[in-house]
Amino acid sequence: MTFNRRHFLVTSAALAGASALPAAAKALPFRYAYSAISWETNIETAIAAGEKLGFFGIEPFRQNIVNYLDRPLALKALMDAHHIQMASCSNGGGPDFSGNFFDPAQADKTVADHINFVRSFIKPFGYVNHFKMNMGPRPAGYDTNDEQIKQCAASLNRIGKEILKDGIRLAPHPHVNSLVENQHEVDLLMKETDPAYVWMTADMAHLTLGGLDPMEVLATYWPRIAEIHYKDAPRNLRGSRVVAVPRSGPEAGGHGWFRAMTDSDAGGVDFPRVQKYLIDKKYSGWVTLDYDASMMEHSSKSMEQLLAADKDYIVNVLKVDPKANFRTV
């Protein structure tokens, strides 16, 4: 089946008429996790924080777990002791790991490194069913061409075909200031990748900052959505169809533009509508609060405080049953 933006037109009327969230708290089939990125290599403290807050899952990046790269079962034992599962582990960071997806000269090493990471580190956990991954840097000069996106797609098809043999789906993540950030790049990537081998991680903030409509992306590519990331963007960006972030500098990757759902200027993403869509679709995967250190700087709160406040938002505004969807602490 071919998925494109025209598919959205078929479903948009139904989405526009979606009813409000239920008045009573509801147990959901999907689970909430949080990102470990702001803890850097101190993954042990990140795990303890999640246990304290009652989250069921954690999503580290490769740079967060460099001290466990050769002993994944030791990290699994630590997570088990704290009643937390690994939702996925993202690529990037750490020694001798290629993340260039657009240069044909580097494609073979990039593909091999990612397959090896999945098989040597993620597969031993036994229950992780997808590999959330970023797609590396943009080319010099920032602008991409279609051949570079197609080269990335070819590499993703190779990785996805191999790791699916291990029961793990490949779920690349459109991300501002990465190779795939805007509407054209996302649509071309999804057209050129094989739906039998490649899914998507849909990040509500990155889609908004990249000039995409998160609801349109969900409706268009729903059969290929493997994971959802919750984080917000500034309220004035809701409905924007342009890339919001600068092309260079520290804010190019979205840092400084991300918002917690409870920040005073949040609202770029319509989370009640997104949540309602996930419920209606009977989504059963992970929803990860993918929060980074720049959000602490913006809010003057610790990461624990941000996650605690947004957990309350999920319970009280999105009407989630805390006893079912969070662990009692």
pLDDT of residue 47: 98
- In terms of phi and psi (left: phi > 0; alpha: psi -120 to 50; beta: otherwise), the region of 282 is left
Model confidence at 93: pLDDT above 90: no
What are the residue boundaries of the structural domains of the chain, listed by start?
Answer: 30-323
The CATH architecture annotation of domain 30-323 reads Alpha-Beta Barrel (3.20)
Query: In the predicted model, is pLDDT for residue 327 greater than 80?
Result: yes
Single pTM value for the model: 0.94
Across residues 295-312, what is the average pLDDT? 98
Residue 12 confidence (pLDDT) = 46
Inform me whether the pLDDT recorded for 110 exceeds 80: yes
State the average pLDDT over residues 131-159.
98
Residue 154 and residue 112 in contact, taking contact as beta carbons nearer than 8 Å: no
pLDDT of 111 reads 98
Predicted confidence band at 185 (pLDDT cuts at 50, 70, 90)? very high
> In which region does residue 254 sit, left (phi positive, over 0), alpha (psi from -120 to 50) or beta (all else)?
left
Q: What is the pLDDT of residue 267?
A: 98
Q: Identify the weakest region by mean pLDDT among 11-20, 88-97, 203-212, 283-292.
A: 11-20
How far, in Å, CA of 171 to CA of 160, rounded? 9
Whether 11 shows a pLDDT value over 50: the answer reads: no
SS (H, E, C) the chain: CCCCHHHHHHHHHHHHCCCCCCCCCECCCCEEEEECHHHCCCHHHHHHHHHHHCCCEEECEHHHHHHHCCCHHHHHHHHHHCCCEECCCECCCCCCCCCCCCCHHHHHHHHHHHHHHHHHHHHHHCCCCEEEECCCECCCCCCCCHHHHHHHHHHHHHHHHHHHHHCCEEEECCCCCECCCCHHHHHHHHHHCCCCCECEEEEHHHHHHCCCCHHHHHHHHHHHEEEEEECECEHHHCCCCCCCCCCCCCCCCCCCCCECCCCCCECCCCHHHHHHHHHHCCCCCEEEECCCHHHHHHHCCCHHHHHHHHHHHHHHCCCECHHHHCCCC
| Cβ-contact 235, 302 below 8 angstroms | no
Residue pair 263/299 in contact by the 8 Å Cβ criterion:
yes
CA distances from 324 to 25, 82, 301, 312 (A): 10, 18, 27, 14
Mean per-residue pLDDT over the chain, rounded = 94
> Which tokens go with 19?
């009813």
**CA-CA distances (angstroms) from residue 250 to 76, 175, 245?**
34, 14, 10
Residue 85 pLDDT exceeds 60: yes
* Model pLDDT, residue 20: 64
Q: What percent of the chain shows pLDDT beyond 90?
A: 90
Ramachandran quadrant class, 144 (left: phi over 0; alpha: psi -120 to 50; beta: rest): beta
Q: Is the pLDDT of residue 86 over 60?
A: yes
Q: How many Cα atoms occupy the beta-carbon half-sphere of 283 within 13 Å?
A: 22
Residue 182 vs residues 25, 145, 159, 205: alpha-carbon distances, Å: 36, 12, 23, 13
Residue 130 above 80 pLDDT? yes
- The per-residue pLDDT for 223 is 98
- Amino acid letter at 280? D
Cβ neighbours of residue 70 under 8 Å, at least 6 residues apart?
none
What was the pLDDT predicted at 299?
A: 96
